[in-house]
Structure 1
Amino acid sequence: MTPTLRDATVADAGLLVTIGTETFTDTFGHLYHPDDLAAFLAKFTVAAWEEELSDPRFHVVLAMAGDDAVGYAKLGPPSLPFEPTGKPIELRQFYLRRQAQGTGLAATLMEHMLAKARATGADELFLSVFIDNHRARRFYERYGFERVGTYAFMVGNHRDEDDVMRVAL
């Protein structure tokens, strides 16, 4: 079945918690002490998602394979430590479940999010990526993202180094 994209609604808050928890744990869970991972994941609640999904500054898109959500991406107001040169927006999350990776869905989702970012009036898009997530960094570089700095990404009490990347829209 060909995946489709649709805007997430407040009713999708629980689903987004599930996908985010699953994909983060599958990709990075082995790097952290269980207490640090649990503290990090505890921030992603239905209530927090409902708040963002009700806020017009956020744009969340679900990737659907039939009735199954296989990923999502979220744009929101800037939160990363960077020096914007224009009107920025941030790609805050970009997650695909394992079964959707390598299918071309990531490209479809990224192109959609770039168009959505442009439609907000933003002229630059920022994101962060774990420095050792080489596959993701190569993917973002294919879309013109360039490293503009680093910052400390905290998972519980564990400090990771993330690259901050930017692309002009």
Structure 2
Amino acid sequence: MEWRLRRAAPADAAALSLVAGATFLQTFAGVLEGADILAHVARNSSADAFARYMEEGAMATLAEARAGGAPIGYTLLTVPDLPVAPQAGDIELKRIYVLAGAHGGGLGPALMARAVEDARAAGHERMLLGVYGENHRARRFYEKQGFALAGTRRFLVGATWHDDVIYALPL
């Protein structure tokens, strides 16, 4: 699938929300409880949630299918909210997701490269991210991109706690 990247604007909150819910479901169906997935998406991936992120200064990149412009992936960079010792210049890659149908075409690495480029351009010196500890595919991707383990956290999805790992990448 051919795609293009562009900076997301507040008007893109619904498109970001659509991809967020779909990719979270694709990633965690069969891993997390269905009710927990629904609660998590409703709380953290609604159009209103994305509008709030943008109002608070978050940077997002939207990936769209070249034919038709449908949203197929995104990144979201925010002020860090992770249990690691903060350093001046930190930024969190809060989200990076790509619909399964777009996997294998270089979109994930392109989104990561754009996130790193945006973070550097904004003067940040370290990128942090949290990932479900059992999401081995994502962990291999982050490690291939140069991220190293920096800590752990307990993460609430719906009503269930899960163990996450935290990665860091010097910029």
Give the TM-score band, short-chain normalised. Answer: over 0.9
Structure 2 stretches lacking a partner, 5+ long:
none
What does 1:47-126 correspond to in 2, within 5 Å? 47-55=48-56, 57-66=57-66, 67-126=69-128
Structure 1 stretches lacking a partner, 5+ long:
none
CA-CA distance at 1:35 after TM superposition: 2.2
Aligned residue in 1 for 2:11: 11
Give me the whole-angstrom Cα distance separating, in 2, the residues matched to 1:133 and 1:105.
19
1:168 to 164, 167, 170: 170
Partner amino acid, structure 2, of 1:32: L
What does 1:25-64 correspond to in 2, within 5 Å? 25-43=25-43, 44-55=45-56, 57-64=57-64
RMSD: 1.3
Equivalenced residues, count: 168
Percent identity, aligned pairs only?
A: 36
Aligned residue in 2 for 1:144: 146
TM-score, normalisation: structure 2: 0.93
TM-score, normalisation: structure 1: 0.94
1:156 to 149, 155, 158: 158
Give me the whole-angstrom Cα distance separating, in 1, the residues matched to 2:30 and 2:161.
15
CA-CA distance at 1:150 after TM superposition: 0.6
1:128 to 123, 130, 140: 130
Give me the whole-angstrom Cα distance separating, in 1, the residues matched to 2:49 and 2:136.
29
CA-CA distance at 1:101 after TM superposition: 0.9
